[in-house]
């Protein structure tokens, strides 16, 4: 599912949740394969905040 557009905390949180859900299912976030859940969380947050800045 594509990430939502927006800058609110609710949208950013939703996007992080979506990315982590994908990581738990497939073991990937986009095309990368984080080694641990902690690294996946950091990467998901970075992607979500980056998406929020682009709008």
pTM of the prediction?
Answer: 0.89
Output the pLDDT for position 5. Answer: 92
Q: What is the pLDDT of residue 55?
A: 61
Rounded to 10 degrees, what is the CA torsion of 35, 27, 30, 33? 20
pLDDT of 30: 87
Number of residues that this document lists for the chain: 55
Rounded Cα distance between 37 and 55, Å, is 28
Flag residues of the chain having pLDDT under 70. 55
Taking each helix axis from N to C end, the angle separating 9-26 and 37-54, rounded to the nearest 10 degrees, works out to 140
The pLDDT value given to residue 40? 97
Count of CB atoms situated within 10 Å of the CB of 2: 7
pLDDT value of residue 12 = 96
């Amino acid at each position: 599912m594509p990430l939502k557009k927006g800058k609110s905390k609710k949208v950013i949180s939703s996007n992080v949740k979506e990315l982590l859900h994908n990581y738990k299912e497939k073991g990937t976030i986009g095309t990368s394969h984080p080694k641990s859940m902690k690294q996946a969380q950091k990467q998901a947050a970075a992607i979500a905040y980056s998406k929020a800045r682009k709008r």
